[in-house]
Structures are given as structure tokens and as C-alpha cells.
Amino acid sequence: MEILVCIKQVPGTSEVEVDEKTGVLKRDGIDSKLNPYDLYAIETALKMKEEKGAKVNVITMGPPQAAEIIQEAFMMGADNGALLTDRKFAGADVLATAYTLSQGVKKMGNIDLIICGKQTTDGDTAQVGPEMAEFLGIPHVANVRRIVELKEESIVVEMDMPNTIEVADVKFPCLITVEKGIFQPRLPSFKLKMATKDKEIPFYSMNDFEDQNEKNYGLNGSPTQVLKIFPPEANTDHEMWEGTGEDLADRLLTKLKELKFV
Amino acid sequence: MNYKAIDSQDIEYLISVCGKGRVFVGEEINEDFAHDELGGIERLPEVMVEAVSTEEVSKIMKYAFDHHIPVTPRGQGTGLVGGSVAIHGGIMLNLTKMNKILELDEENLTLTVEPGVLLMEISKFVEAHDLFYPPDPGEKSATIAGNINTNAGGMRAVKYGVTRDYVRGLEIVLPNGEVMEVGGKIVKNSSGYSLKDMIVGSEGTLAIVTKAVLKLLPLPKKAISLLIPFPDLAMAIETVPKIIKSKTIPTAVEFMESAAILAAEEFLGMKFPDKSSDAYLLLTFDGNSKEEIERAYDKVAHICLDSGALDVLISNTQERQESIWKARGAFLEAIKASTTEMDECDVVVPRNKVADFIKYTNELQSQFQVRIKSFGHAGDGNLHVYVLRDERTEEEWKKTLGDVFECMYSRARELGGQVSGEHGIGYAKRPFLIESMGENGMQLLKNIKLAFDPKNILNPGKVC
């Protein structure tokens, strides 16, 4: 079984400042790290490796120094990795990123299962995984909170919906994005660091891809552009009501009508 | 000792100094003030006063001195040896309301604080200014004066030393009410006996600290931890002297067993990142660049692997650090939650004797059929060994505890150790200090006490 985990290098601190003038995240001089959500994806893959002898591959898109996080995935136990890097990929939005990754996946050979973290800590969109699956034309399940069973031809997962938990049996090849806390990620191993320090990490650029049309990558391939990034306004206004269910429902309906929500 | 009992006149005087709202008598005093964190030694003071200024402390001390009333200074009550329990009744002087950070002097790299400022407030405040107060005892809600009075150590002692090394100067109130300053914002001092250093670690028996000038360092920019699984604890601990010998200086070297980790997991409801082994060393390195730290830990990682470590696991991000250190921080509480009562032994032995001592506590465990848990600062030789009561009756417990402690303290002495590494002597450990110090040593301590406190009114019955 071949598993591919998509990972990303993100700023090392959660307190990233936004440049007020340009609205762009200030990344200069900030340490970077492997997206914390991706650690759960790697751990999920490694558990499958331990259980079923699966091979774990990782892929990332980024500047050359993003090879560091592939090295880190090796230190956790990943078998192979590749970096998609090309100036032409710069400025990609979620759609262009997902497309680039989907092209990269094709370079990795036959993959049965793609695992992504639920989202990244710098963009928090949670869109790249599912969009990538759409480009690849494979089924996908987001917000996976538990692996129920890993079968020969498919995987059974629990997905965390807002009010329910749904169980899905998904045929390979497919893509899942996993929730924080699905497993406690292991720490990188110094032994594996030494064992894999000379392991080659192939770099792929656009010229290595099946689709070599520049218009589909980077800024050119991005229908959206970030104008401004700002923390959402926290609205803490609230009223507390007490009463029976019926009273409260009536009051709530009146209030919603007052506010013209219904 | 015959002390004057508190009467209505005394209460009136205290109210005239502090106002009615800060003087508590009889049932107004919360039961918590009868004991400290570990319990066991209990007595409520006759009156508790919350002082908010040096002047108030001075007036109260002068009055107590003139009227021969015992005074027990108290911070957050997080001690473990009964040091802040009013075993002779009298006045409890609660200093937690004197909790202001007074001055950050960036030219002298000092921080001036009142005694009731909490350790966690100090680190938060100075780190926001890229500065660093290294002493790092596990109990972050302790007051700074409590730390000063016990000469608290903590995990970073291996590299940075203990509280005493970071106290530059103190404002103190003597038992007779006189206010004086010892030390100051000075780096060197050869001016007579170091009174400042006598106050540090005096457990509130010589004077009351009303202000402290602390030494700060520039904040190291980066820190990483190594979690190192070993096949067994003996092998883990025997590796520590080799690490020390290698001349790399980790910030902290802790040891832990899987039982403590499992207890912490259950207590916190969280998962620890590794369970492959029964025993671990936990090392921290700090520095200013990733490369600098990597160079230091590379050497240590090889030493550990050569000494039989199963692997060396690297914790280099905030999330990873939290997954480890949160568990480490909960060990005491988790062990406490697993039994009915416990008592602790905070001995310190030369660093190359830690393994001997831990092996010995394991022998005691089977000899006395009692659960003994330990974790601690392998890098500085300070051990925290907990003896658990479990289902023993009061009588059996006292007997077993006495026997086990007697064995542990005498073994520590044989190994060239001392009674307390950082928790102090207080009331509970006096018999062991007497054994360890000998007659001459105890007489010196008593004479020092007498020089500061001729009427023996300040925290009597503690230390000596």
C-alpha cells in the first residue's frame, strides 16, 4: 500500500503579525516549522505503516528550504519525499496550490491513499485537501476523527460533522483530511535523523509535470488574491436567558424576528 | 517557649495599623492557612494580617517584638515542609498583597519586586522584555519571597544555578521592626559577611523580605528538549554523569519513569508522545540559534545512544514541548491523586551518586512493602522521592514513614548529600538536619538565629 501525506512549512510561531499596510503575513525573520496539523496526518500514515506495512511518502510545495520539513518527516519515519519547487508556483492561492499538488501526486506513482492535515496554521482555509482530490477525480472525506478499519480495497473512517459523526467506507484511491488529536504525533528521532541525512529528496518543477501550461500555476493560476488579512472581530455581546424550553424558544423567535434574521 | 497569647488589645493595634479589612481573627481565618501544600503539620494562627507595605510590616514586627508574640510570615503556602505554618499560633503575616513589580532596570539588568509577586508573573513580565529570570521551580504559583526563603532551585539549576544566584539585594524587616537593605544593584560585593546570602534560604526565621532586587539575563532565543527512552531507569541515570563530563551544558536534566507518565496522562487527560520505554531522561538545551543548539545536543545524543538509549527524540516546537512538559509539570499532582497521603524527601546528592540513591529507594520499596515514587533533577542531584501511604492506618503510616525516611536520609549522608535540595527544612525536616549538621553546625545556626532574633519570635520552631 502506498500512502502520500501532503505537508507544508508554516511560520514557527502562532502569533504571526500582519503587515497593516499590505495585509500580508510578516514571515521575514520568523522561524518556520512543519504545520502542526500535518503531524497528525503523518502519524496516521505511520500507524498504518506499522499495522499494514504501508509505504509512507510525503510531498510539499514551497521554496527550496522547505526540504527541511521533508527531512523532518523522514525523522518521524516517512520513507520517501518530494519537493515541488519552482518560481512559477509562487503566489498560488488555494486553487493553484491544490492543482500544483495534484500534478505532483502524479509524479509519485500509484498512490492508494492521500492524507492531509485538516488545515494549516497560516492560512486555515482547510480547502487544499478536498480541492486536490477533485483535481485528481478521487473521492475524499474531510475532518476524519478516527480510522475505523483499513481494508484491502478501502478505508472506513469516522468524520466529524458539526452535529453528527458519519461513518464512511471509501474505496482507494481516495483522500482524507484528519482532525487534530486523531493520534498523538510521535517526536522526530535522532536515530532516523542520522540514518536519513543523506537520503535524496527529488525536486520537481513545472517542467516535470504533465501539464506545463504556466497559466495554471502560481499567481497566473490563482482566481483569488489576498487583499488583506486581519483577525476576525471577536463579538462577545451576549444575553443570558433562563426559562422553560418553550418560553425560551418563543423568546428566541421574537428576538430573531426583531433582528430581521427570520 | 512562653509566648504572649493574642488578646483584644493586640487585635486593636493590628487593626490600627492595617485597617479592619486586613485583620482576620479566629473563624475568619480560612482553614487553608493552617497548613501548607503537603499538609500533615497543622495549626491555625491566632490572627492573620495582610500587610501591604514595608512600614506596616515594620510596625507589626516592632509590636510583636515588644510584646513577645510569635510571627509566621507566609506567601502562597506552597511549601512542603511546614515552614509557613504558625506552629506556635500568634500572628500570621500574609505578604501576598505586596505583589507589585516595582522596577525593571535594563541598564543594570535587574528587576525589583515586592515579596508577594508570583514566580509565573515574573517570568511573563521579563520575557516580554526579552529578559530571563532563570530559576524555574515546578510550582509557578509560589511567591518570589517564598522562593528566596527556601533558596528554591528548579529544573534549570544544572546550567543556571538556583535562586540565591539571582538575588542581588533585599530590603528586610528585622524581628525588632528595623528596616534595612542588604546587597543591592551590584554585581560584586566583598563588604563583610554576606547578610543577603544569609537571608536567602533562611525560611523566614531571620528577617522578613519586603523587597527583592533580582538579577536577570538576556532571554535565550531558542530552546529544545530531548526525550530519551532507556531500557531501564538505572541505565538512564548512569548516563547523566557522562553527559555532565562531556562539558555540554544542558539547561535541565530530568529523569522520569513510565508509571509517573501514565499517572500524569490520566490526571491531565492527555497523551504523552512516546510510550516505548519504562524510563526516560528529559534534557533541555537553550541558546541563540538553531545551529548552536544542534551542535550541543548532537554530542549528547551520541553519548546517550552509546550508553544504551533506545533512541533520542527531539522536541523542537511549542506543541511538542507542551506535550512533554505539561506532563512533567503534573507529576506531583498526579502522584498525589493516586494515594491517600504522602510525604516527600528532597535530598540532594553528588550528581554521580543519583543512580545509587534511586536503586536504594527501590530496595526500600520491597523491604518496607511501601510504594515509593521518584522523579527529579538528575542533572543537579536533587531528588524528589515520595513515600505513599495508600491503605495504611495512621499508626502504621507514621512508623513506616519514619523508618523509610531514616534509611533514606542516612544513605544520602553516606553518599555525601544534604537533607534538602530546594524545599527547605521548615518544621518537618529538623530532626534530619540535626543528624546531618552535627552539634557544632547546629550551634552555629542557633547563634546566627539569635543574632537576628534575640527573642526568637520570628517563625520559631523552624530550621534550627
User: Which of residues B270, B301, B332 is at a domain's end?
Assistant: B332
Question: Buried b / exposed e across B105-130, counting CB within 10 Å, b at 16+?
Answer: eeebbbbbbbbbbbbebbbebbeeee
Q: Which residues contact B443 (CB under 8 A, 6 or more apart)?
A: none
**Among B48, B78, B97, which residue terminates a domain?**
B97
Chain B hits for A120, CB-CB cut-off 8 Å, are none
B226: contact with A, CB 8 A cutoff: yes
pLDDT of residue A28: 57
| 3-state secondary structure (DSSP) of residue A4 | strand
- Asked if the Cβ–Cβ distance from A187 to B272 is below 8 Å, we say no
Taking only the tens place, the pLDDT of each residue in A16-67 is: 566 656 555 565 556 789 999 999 999 999 999 999 999 999 999 999 999 9
**Are residues B213 and B226 located together in one domain of the fold?**
no
Kindly report, residue by residue over A198-254, the tens digit of the pLDDT: 999 999 999 999 999 999 999 999 998 877 777 777 777 778 888 899 999 999 999
Domain count, chain B: 4
Say whether A14 and B227 touch across the interface (CB within 8 A). no
Decide: residue B198, CB within 10 A, 0-12 exposed, 13-18 middle, 19+ buried.
Answer: middle
Question: Sign of dihedral through CA atoms B165, B333, A187, B228?
Answer: positive
Shortest Cα distance, chain B CAs vs residue A120, angstroms: 14
Q: Does B268 touch chain A (CB under 8 A)?
A: no
The C-alpha of A162 sits at a distance from chain B's nearest C-alpha, in angstroms, of: 23
State how far residue A210 is from chain B, nearest Cα, in angstroms.
Answer: 37
**Rounded to whole angstroms, how far apart are CA atoms A212 and A60?**
19
- d(CA A224, CA A29) in angstroms, rounded, equals 27
H-assigned helices in B68-194: 119-127, 144-150, 157-160
Flag whether B432 is in a domain.
no
Distance separating alpha carbons of residues B403 and A62, to the nearest angstrom: 64
The CATH architecture annotation of domain A2-221 reads: 3-Layer(aba) Sandwich (3.40)
Q: Which three cell numbers stand for residue B270?
A: 492527555
CA distance B124 to chain A (A): 16
**B146 and B122 together in one domain:** yes
| A57-72 residues labelled b (16+ CB within 10 A) or e (exposed) | bbbbbbeeebbbbbbb
Contact B319 A75 (CB under 8 A): no
Cβ contact, residue pair A189, B271, below 8 Å: no
Q: Are residues B107 and B193 in the same domain?
A: yes
Buried b (16+ CB within 10 A) or exposed e, A183-206: bbbbbbbbebbeebeeeebeebeb
- The nearest CA of chain B is from the CA of A188 a distance in Å of 5
Residues in B closer than 8 angstroms to A31, CB to CB, are 290
Same domain? For B69 and B89 the reply is: yes
Question: In terms of DSSP bridges, do strands B101-105 and B110-113 run parallel, antiparallel, or are they unpaired?
Answer: antiparallel
pLDDT of residue A32: 86
Would residue B206 count as lying in a domain? yes
Tens place of pLDDT per residue across chain B (464 aa): 689 999 999 999 999 999 999 999 999 999 999 999 887 889 999 999 999 999 999 999 999 999 999 999 999 999 999 999 999 999 999 999 999 999 999 999 999 999 999 999 999 999 999 999 999 998 899 999 999 999 999 889 999 999 999 999 999 999 999 999 999 999 999 999 999 999 999 999 999 999 999 999 999 988 999 999 999 988 999 999 999 999 888 999 999 988 888 888 888 888 899 988 989 999 999 999 888 898 889 999 999 999 999 999 999 988 899 889 888 888 888 888 889 999 989 999 999 999 899 999 999 999 999 999 888 788 899 999 999 999 999 999 999 999 999 999 999 999 999 999 999 999 999 999 999 999 999 999 999 999 999 999 999 999 99
Say whether both B213 and B244 belong to one domain. no
In a domain, B400, yes or no: yes
Q: What is the rounded CA–CA span in Å between residue A238 and residue A175?
A: 40
Option in A12, A75, A190 nearest B317 (CB): A12
Whether residues B313 and A190 touch (CB distance < 8 A) is answered with: yes
pLDDT in tens, A141-180: 999 999 999 999 999 999 998 789 999 999 999 999 999 9
Kindly determine whether residue A191 and residue B318, on different chains, have CB atoms separated by under 8 Å.
Answer: no
Q: Give the pLDDT score at B301.
A: 96
Residue of B288, B303, B312 to mutate, testing the A interface (most A Cβ within 10 Å of its Cβ): B312
What phi, psi does A76 have (nearest 5°)? -90, -20
DSSP B24-44: EEGGGS-GGGGS-SS-SS---
With beta carbons under 8 A apart, name residues in chain A contacting B295.
none
Do B92 and B107 reside in the same domain of the chain?
A: no
- CB of B294 within 8 Å of a chain A CB? The answer is no
Q: Is residue B442 part of a domain?
A: no
- On whether any CB of chain A is under 8 Å from the CB of B272, the answer is yes
CATH number at residue B236: 3.30.70.2190
Q: Residues B361, B305: one domain?
A: no
CA distance A99 to A117: 17
Contact predicate B405/B364, CB 8 Å: no
DSSP string over B346-386 = --B--GGGHHHHHHHHHHHHHHTT--EEEEEETTTTEEEEE
Q: What is the pLDDT of residue A19?
A: 61
Domain range summary for chain A, segments of one domain joined by +: 2-221
CB contacts of A36 in chain B (<8 Å) are 317, 319
In this structure, what CATH number is given to the domain that contains residue B60?
3.30.43.10
Neighbours of A169 (CB within 10 A): 12
| B209 plus B116 within the same structural domain | yes
Give me the residue from A33, A75, A186 closest to B317, CB to CB: A33
Domain extent for B147: 101-218
Instruction: With respect to residue B462, please indicate whether it lies within any of the assigned structural domains.
Output: no
Q: Are residues B227 and B214 in the same domain?
A: no
Q: How far apart, in whole angstroms, are the C-alpha atoms of residue B380 and residue B134?
A: 15
From the list A12, A39, A189, the residue facing B311 with the nearest CB is: A189
- Give me the residue from B290, B301, B313 closest to A187, CB to CB: B313
Q: What pLDDT is stored for residue B114 in this prediction?
A: 98
- A-facing residues of B in 298-357 (CB < 8 A) are 301, 305, 311-320, 323
The answer, for B2 touching chain A at a CB cutoff of 8 Å, is no
- Whether residues B326 and B231 fall in one domain: yes
For testing contact with chain B, the best of A47, A68, A190 (most B CBs within 10 A): A190
Same domain flag for B193 and B273: no
Contact B381, B355 (CB under 8 A): no
**B377 backbone dihedrals φ, ψ, rounded to 5°:** -90, 80
Q: Do B87 and B459 touch, CB atoms closer than 8 A?
A: no
Environment class of A246 (CB within 10 Å of its CB; exposed 0-12, middle 13-18, buried 19+): exposed
Among residues B201, B218, B235, the one where a domain terminates is B218
In b/e form, how buried is each residue of B202-216, taking b as 16+ CB within 10 angstroms? bbbbbbbbbbbbbbb
CB atoms closer than 10 angstroms to residue A15: 6
pTM of this prediction exceeds 0.90: no
Q: Among partner residues A34, A75, A186, which is closest to B273 by beta-carbon distance?
A: A186
**Half-sphere exposure of residue B170: CA atoms within 13 angstroms, side-chain side:** 26
Place of cell 520568523: A30
Residue B168 grid cell: 542581588
Q: Least CB-CB distance to A189: which of B290, B313, B319? A: B313
Q: Does residue B351 belong to any structural domain of this protein? A: yes
B265 within a domain of the structure (yes/no): yes
Give the integer Cα–Cα distance in Å for B210 and B208: 6
Report the residue of chain A nearest B272, measured CA to CA: A184
B287 in a structural domain: yes
